[in-house]
Amino acid sequence: MKPLEGIRVMEFSTMITASFAAMMLAEQGAEVIKVEPLELGDPMRFLGTSKGGISALFANCNRGKRSLRIDIKSDEGRAVIEELAADTDIVLSNYRPGVMDGLGIGPDQLRAINPRLIYGGVSGFGTEGPMSNAPAYDPIIQAQTGFAAVQGQGSEDGPKFMRSLMCDKVTAYTICQAVTSALFVRERTGEGQNIDLSMMDAGLYFIFMDGFMHKTLLDDDVDHNPPLSEMLYDLSKTADGGICVSAATQAQQVGLMTAIDRLDLFADERFNSMEKIIANIGELRAEMAAAMENFTTEDLLGKLSESDVPAARPLDYDEVWAHPQYEANDSIDITEHERMGSMRRVKPPARFGGERLEPAADAPGHGEHTAEILAELGRSQEQIDALVEQDLARLE
């Protein structure tokens, strides 16, 4: 049994955050109904690499869901949502603050129908303040939470983006943790609740612990040392490429010196303790750089392994799939999608009871399950046809 079997989720979203969050819940067993607008549905369907009218990005964020295509601005559409809400456990929305309230399906309205409902509202910047209604995409949040500043530390070029939808995904994980915590509270109290989460807050909370170490302690007598990133994120040239070495302890630093035949560095007064290594890490790296280029990557990996120093060769895309550890972990599979053809999937990472969860069913087509869901609500085929026709007429 999957941990969230018996839990129903309704998702109102476009793009990444709530979609990814809802998919994680689906892959842990929840039933997820993705409510999509009439015209094109979630615009993520059309962004990036695609086949059969569905993008890989959409497919990677929407497994295990049923798609309900309906006009939530209409009386009929709102009535359908209210009926579904009466038997729903979690609602996830990432529309701007006030939008869902204006449609008559905000947290207060739906929780009046179902007090056990947990309503997770995700916004870019929060529900109050000068930016509460500002548009937000991942790069904007990276810029305003310090992600870009952290990547650019020490760089002449200044702030740099992480070229991944990092804040979107961090927020997705955060709202998942919040709504499952609320499920636990509901088990004890019988009551649901409203949860507000902003991408801005989730991003800052995530980056702060290490990215802002140097801005945490405020007294004048603080000892300022290089951030952890300067210790662990070392990408160095070798005779035939490059290697990543993360030597976080004194023993590992000595192991690295030994591997490159520079143990003499530990006798240098600048580097003869971990405190001095941390304080002078830039100078130590400069001393090591030339020595590392005397070894091939594979030779150096072998020597570092003997000393239990964490190290790796940076892999390209295709080398990632071939890594034997992913095979051992049963992390990746390939499936055949009816419209998208052969697809590679990464399985949910958490194991429950030692068992790997399989990926949920393929991402749905736009409105693929509309008739099915309406029938479950007791609508006759005549009523379903009439509602679909009304919605189609609104598009003309």
Digit-coded pLDDT (tens) for 339-352? 899 999 999 999 99
Indicate whether 110 belongs to any domain.
yes
Top-confidence residue, 234 or 195: 195
243/291 same-domain check = yes
Burial 104-126 (b: 16+ CB within 10 A, else e): ebbbebbbebbebbbbbbbbbbe
125/175 same-domain check = yes
In angstroms, the CA 321 to CA 333 distance is 10
Specify the pLDDT at position 229: 73
pLDDT at 223 over 90: no
pLDDT at 228 over 80: no
263/370 same-domain check = no
The C-alpha R_g of the chain, in whole angstroms, comes to: 26
Structure confidence by residue, pLDDT tens digits, 13-69: 988 999 999 999 999 999 999 999 988 899 999 999 999 889 999 999 999 999 999
254/388 same-domain check = no
CATH code: domain of residue 196: 3.40.50.10540
78/200 same-domain check = yes
pLDDT at 112 over 90: yes
64/160 same-domain check = yes
Specify the pLDDT at position 396: 63
Indicate whether 226 belongs to any domain.
no
Indicate whether 225 belongs to any domain.
no
91/131 same-domain check = yes
174/39 same-domain check = yes
User: Is residue 230 very low, low, confident or very high in pLDDT (cuts 50, 70, 90)?
Assistant: confident
Burial 173-195 (b: 16+ CB within 10 A, else e): ebbbebbbebbeebeeeeebbbb
State the residue range of the domain holding 161: 8-208+330-395
pLDDT at 393 over 80: no
Top-confidence residue, 274 or 114: 114
**Domain limit, last residue, from 294, 317, 340:** 317
Indicate whether 299 belongs to any domain.
yes
Indicate whether 325 belongs to any domain.
no
3-class secondary structure per residue, 256-276: HHHHCCCHHHHHCCCCCCHHH
307/334 same-domain check = no
CATH code: domain of residue 287: 3.30.1540.10
Number of domains in the chain: 2
292/194 same-domain check = no
Indicate whether 137 belongs to any domain.
yes
149/120 same-domain check = yes
Indicate whether 323 belongs to any domain.
no
Indicate whether 223 belongs to any domain.
no
39/137 same-domain check = yes
Percentage of residues in the chain having pLDDT higher than 70 = 99
Specify the pLDDT at position 232: 79
**Domain limit, last residue, from 262, 287, 317:** 317
Specify the pLDDT at position 226: 75
pLDDT at 111 over 80: yes
Looking at every residue in the chain, the average pLDDT score rounds to: 93
**Domain limit, last residue, from 317, 345, 372:** 317
Specify the pLDDT at position 156: 78
> What contacts 351, CB < 8 A, 6 or more positions away?
357
Specify the pLDDT at position 252: 94
Cβ(211)–Cβ(170) below 8 Å: no
